[in-house]
């Protein structure tokens, strides 16, 4: 028997653990603009960054009012999963051990069919709101209904505290438990794909390097160069909507 032969009596061959780190670029085909690209939100409106900066949001009622108005008009809540999200979910349904670590807050991986327990949201979710005082949590849709009905800065109905989206704003720390799980996945993955991320925002960006250090095959799918291209086994510059389904079909 050669090193690549498989003994049928041993059952089906073990499939490699695939970890996918997804960034804003995976969702642009769904109509959600990225933040730092040529047409990104921060490039078009540098002041918009204040709307998702914790200290500014907590200190200034006008920032909060602008933030809620921005959410009312946000395409994120109307967006649907695109071919890339669907390809990830399809690979998981095929029986492959797949885990998603996402920098996105749009929930599109779950809408495409990825089980929630297999998606780590490093920066939280925009589909829920939380009270900054009592930590009560409710749906973003319900909060936006209140805004549309005339509450410019809706308070928590439990304690009257300030509500914010259940996302990690600038100036807030990542959930240490979520980050710890992500680090464990990076170390355990045999294939690690970084998709639609600049790999410049830490600690998320460091996951690619950690995966490579622990022996994973590192594949980067992104329109622009990243700091980790030199250590990648493969770098793909093609559009994500066509490149990722092809790559995942090969894996499957």
DSSP category for residue 153: S
Instruction: Find out whether 135 and 164 touch, Cβ atoms under 8 Å.
Output: no
Pairing of strands 124-131, 163-167: antiparallel
Instruction: Find out whether 21 and 207 touch, Cβ atoms under 8 Å.
Output: yes
The residues facing 235 across adjacent strands are: 220
Phi and psi of 107, rounded to 5°?
75, 15
What CA–CA distance (Å, rounded) separates 29 from 147?
28
Q: Please list the active-site residues.
A: 123
Phi and psi of 221, rounded to 5°?
-120, 105
Q: Is 217 helix (H, G, I), strand (E, B) or coil?
A: strand
**196 exposure class (CB count in 10 Å sphere: 0-12, 13-18, 19+):** buried
**Element spanning 19, H or E:** strand 18-22
123: its two tokens = 């920066």
CA distances from 111 to 81, 82, 118, 155, 247 (A): 7, 10, 13, 28, 21
Bond into 118 cis (ω within 30): no
């Amino acid at each position: 028997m050669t090193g690549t032969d498989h003994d049928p009596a041993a059952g089906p061959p073990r499939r490699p653990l695939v970890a996918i780190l997804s960034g804003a670029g995976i969702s642009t085909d769904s109509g959600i603009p990225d933040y730092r690209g040529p047409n990104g939100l921060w490039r078009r409106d540098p002041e918009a960054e204040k709307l998702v900066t914790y200290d500014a949001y907590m200190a200034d009622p006008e920032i909060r009012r602008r933030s809620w108005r921005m959410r009312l008009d946000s395409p994120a809540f109307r967006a649907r999963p695109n071919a890339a999200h669907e390809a990830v979910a399809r690979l998981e349904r095929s029986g492959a051990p797949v885990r998603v670590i996402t920098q996105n807050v749009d929930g599109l991986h779950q809408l495409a069919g990825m089980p929630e327990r297999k998606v780590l949201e490093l920066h939280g979710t925009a589909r829920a709101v939380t009270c900054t005082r009592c930590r009560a949590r409710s749906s973003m849709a319900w909060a936006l209904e209140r805004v549309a009905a005339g509450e410019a800065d809706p308070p928590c109905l439990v304690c009257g505290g300030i509500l914010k989206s259940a996302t990690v704003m600038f100036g807030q720390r990542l959930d240490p438990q979520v980050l710890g799980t992500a680090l464990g996945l990076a170390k355990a993955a045999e294939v690690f794909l970084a998709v639609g991320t600049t790999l410049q925002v830490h600690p998320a960006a460091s996951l690619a390097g950690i995966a490579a250090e622990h022996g994973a095959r590192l594949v980067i799918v992104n329109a622009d160069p990243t700091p980790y291209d030199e250590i990648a086994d493969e770098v793909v510059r093609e559009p994500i909507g066509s490149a990722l389904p092809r790559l995942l079909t090969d894996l499957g």
